[in-house]
């Protein structure tokens, strides 16, 4: 990151790109182990797509895969899922967020509402759906393990920021995982919903939203602590992780990495750095 003409901060980004099971591009350590965090959401939405199929509104499936910014259209989509589940905001087991803080405004409320909707169709109890032993989380773990080509017993797990289970494995495994997203009917529904509504996945100015708009056919999802994953139009999967957990270098890093593979993301190559007045005082770019 440069402020004026002086280099003020450096972020190290590790990355992997996998095509047809082969590592075709890398940066830093492609075997770095980290947590999927919210980049798991497209896979955590698979049971929802499986349960409702093409009868589900694409906006509902997109918001179940999202880390939203609580805009009106995003909250409307969460509300639709809660109505489908026969539940209300108090049934969401994510914590409150936003101003004023509510569970609905938490960036993971769409994922949680989707899980409640799955519980309704399966006859599962809704209380405790976030816990590792609940059948909802067991199905999510099975989907993640299958996509990553791992046995469930090999998945390192922890509690995510919103209370559900999150999974850890190497970046190259994450990239491989995203190559499988559209290998099933439910996965295609999830990816199509993300591409149809990139504005719901995060929001204006977000790297994953911008990349899906720039690369027709891509499905991209960011995660906490500087993670970015997705599948490209040619079926390649990618995963990038900023070592210090910052998300701010990911757009420039993705532009540089995927540019090696012929993808034009020039608009993401430099992110303006602004001050509290809105003045541009520097930029974030790849070294």
Share of the chain above pLDDT 90, in %: 98
Q: How far apart are the first and last CA of the chain?
A: 9
Average pLDDT over residues 232-250: 97
Is the pLDDT confidence value at 116 over 90?
Answer: yes
pLDDT tens, position by position, 64-76 = 999 999 999 999 9
Contact 111, 82 (CB under 8 A): no
- DSSP secondary structure code for residue 81 in this structure: H
Residue 108: its H or E element: none
- Residue 205 backbone class (left: φ over 0; alpha: ψ -120 to 50; beta: rest): left
Q: What is the DSSP string of 198-232?
A: HHHHS-TT-HHHHHHHHSTT-EEEEETTTEEEEE-
Whole-number pLDDT of residue 108: 98
Is the pLDDT confidence value at 6 over 90?
Answer: yes
Contact 151, 127 (CB under 8 A): no
Residue 30, domain CATH: 3.40.710
What are 230's two structure tokens? 């997705």
Contact 25, 261 (CB under 8 A): yes
Is the pLDDT confidence value at 54 over 90?
Answer: no
Range of the domain at 223: 2-285
Whole-number pLDDT of residue 205: 92
pLDDT tens, position by position, 160-176 = 999 999 999 999 999 99
Number of other CB atoms surrounding residue 70 within 10 Å: 17
- State the total domains in the chain: 1
Whole-number pLDDT of residue 287: 87
Average pLDDT over residues 106-135: 98
pLDDT tens, position by position, 212-238 = 999 999 999 999 999 999 999 999 999
* Residue count of the chain: 287
Nearest-angstrom CA–CA distance, 141 and 178: 15
pLDDT tens, position by position, 173-199 = 999 999 999 999 999 999 999 999 999
Report cis status (omega within 30 of 0) of the bond before 216: no
Average pLDDT over residues 86-93: 98
CA geometry: angle 256, 258, 264, nearest 5 deg: 85
Phi, psi of 81 (to 5 degrees): -65, -40
């Amino acid at each position: 990151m440069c402020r004026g003409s002086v280099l003020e901060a450096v972020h190290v980004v590790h990355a992997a790109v996998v095509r047809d099971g082969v590592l075709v591009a890398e940066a830093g350590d492609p075997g770095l182990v980290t947590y999927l965090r919210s980049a798991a959401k497209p896979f955590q939405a698979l049971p929802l797509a499986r349960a409702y199929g093409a009868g589900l509104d694409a906006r509902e499936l997109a918001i179940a895969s999202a880390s939203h910014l609580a805009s009106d259209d995003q909250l409307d989509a969460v509300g639709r899922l809660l109505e489908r589940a026969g539940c209300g905001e108090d049934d969401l087991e994510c914590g409150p967020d936003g101003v004023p803080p509510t569970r609905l405004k938490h960036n993971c409320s769409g994922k949680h509402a989707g899980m409640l909707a799955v519980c309704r169709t399966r006859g599962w109890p809704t209380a405790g759906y976030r816990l590792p032993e609940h059948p909802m989380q067991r199905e999510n773990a099975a989907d993640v393990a299958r996509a990553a080509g791992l046995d469930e017993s090999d998945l390192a797990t922890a509690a995510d920021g919103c209370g559900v289970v999150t999974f850890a494995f190497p970046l190259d495994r994450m990239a491989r995982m995203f190559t499988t997203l559209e290998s099933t009917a439910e996965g295609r529904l999830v990816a199509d919903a993300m591409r149809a509504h990139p504005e719901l996945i995060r929001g204006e100015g977000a790297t994953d939203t911008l990349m899906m708009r720039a690369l027709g056919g891509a499905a991209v999802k960011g995660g906490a602590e500087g993670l970015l994953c997705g599948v490209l139009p040619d079926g390649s999967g990618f995963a990038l992780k900023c070592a210090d957990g910052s998300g701010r270098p990911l757009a420039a890093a993705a532009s540089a990495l995927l540019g090696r593979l012929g993808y034009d993301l020039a608009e993401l190559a430099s992110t303006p750095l602004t001050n509290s007045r809105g003045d541009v005082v520097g930029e974030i770019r790849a070294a």
